[in-house]
Amino acid sequence: MELSSFSPRERWMALLAGERPDRIPTDYQATPEVTARLLRNLGCADLEALYRRLHIDARRFVAARPLREHHPDDPQADVWGVRFRTVDYGTGAYDEPAFQPLAQMTTVAEIDAYRWPDPDDFDYDAIRRELDADDGYRPIHCGCYEPFLLYGYLRGLEQSFEDLALRPDMADAILGHLFDFHFEHLRRSFEAGGGRIDLTWVAEDLGSQTGPLIGLETYRRYLLPNQIRMADLARSHGIHVMYHTDGAARLFLPDLIERVGIEILNPIQWRCPGMEREGLVADFGDRLIFHGSIDNQHTLPFGSVDDVRAEVRESIEIYRTARWICNPCHNLQPITPTENIVAMYETIHRSGQ
């Protein structure tokens, strides 16, 4: 592989092989409002043009095409039966759950009788068609398994946490249905990829701003076993495992590395307790690729261009002995100035050789 002419995919794959690419790779995540503004401000016709303008090594996402858009019993809901409403927060909008179809259920029999999505309701040949037309320039990402997030949408977040502590039979039933669907859905997706899918998400938000959201034993009881199974499924198809968890999640990293076998950790909210970059590199830098780290709660939205440049350079130095993909530590928000976003990508491009 020629070090001076890596493609985005070659940069990612070099890191995953434990090698050094020509420069530190980059990635991109932002709200739709931010992406639209960048396209306008930078005069880019589409997302690919934006990536090339800012030297972003972003993944390309492929997915099976849904054959139905709504739950069979509720035309106002998504395929899971969850209804959403758009909440405007001034500079943009998010879709938030407004109706949880499992919220009033009290028995496992009700959970089992619910009309869960069926993997048959997707066109997996859509993945083959997309990959047949792909040029191999960008890494290919397919799929996400993040069951407790969806559990909260289906049942309400407060009651979902209560289930883990008070109603284990309900938690097992719901998580079981979520796993069964996702395992078969992703198995068919990975098979359709025919060895051309590089990455997938196994994910769950395990940390808050100040500490873990659940205890380690609760994680091991309810989430760890199926995360292992899903990661094993991905590896059986030659697919690398990325893991997403926001917040202070250090408590869970040994299990995630040693038992789930994750290779890439996102997003590294380094201001949260236990997530300090230096400590993560010292303890896990020989076994993980770090993905994220450029702070989008303080530095990117509220710092100056010089502050952004300084944080990128600081991160380069901290991760010098580790493997790192430079990326904002969550979706770029509309309050983040265009010049700060450009400064992040220009600085890593210039200084990350």
CA atoms within 13 A on the CB side of 342: 10
CATH hierarchy code of domain 3-67+104-351:
3.20.20.210
Residue 173: predicted pLDDT = 98
**What tens-digit pLDDT sequence spans the chain (353 residues)?**
334 489 999 999 999 999 999 999 999 999 999 999 999 999 999 999 999 999 999 999 999 999 999 999 999 999 999 999 999 999 899 999 999 999 999 999 999 999 999 999 999 999 999 999 999 999 999 999 999 999 999 999 999 999 999 999 999 999 999 999 999 999 999 999 999 999 999 999 999 999 999 999 999 999 999 999 999 999 999 999 999 999 999 999 999 999 999 999 999 999 999 999 999 999 999 999 999 999 999 999 999 999 999 999 999 999 999 999 999 999 999 999 999 999 999 999 999 88
| DSSP SS3 for 142 | strand
At residue 334, what is the residue type? Answer: P
φ, ψ of residue 300 in degrees (nearest 5): -65, -45
**Could you tell me which of 303, 316, 290, 286 has the C-alpha nearest to residue 343?**
303
Residue 353: predicted pLDDT = 86
DSSP character for 121? G
How far, CA to CA in Å, does 148 sit from each of 46, 276, 350? 34, 26, 40
Residue matched to tokens 């492929």: 62
pTM above 0.85, yes or no: yes
DSSP alpha helix (H) spans, 194-255: 216-222, 224-236, 253-255
Domain boundaries, the chain: 3-67+104-351
Residue 149: predicted pLDDT = 98
Measured distance CA(142)–CA(239) in Å, rounded: 9
Residue 352: predicted pLDDT = 87
Q: What DSSP string describes 279-310?
A: HHHHHHTTT-EEEEEE-TTTHHHHS-HHHHHH
Measured distance CA(60)–CA(39) in Å, rounded: 18
Measured distance CA(174)–CA(167) in Å, rounded: 11
For β-strands 199-203 and 65-66, DSSP reports them as: unpaired
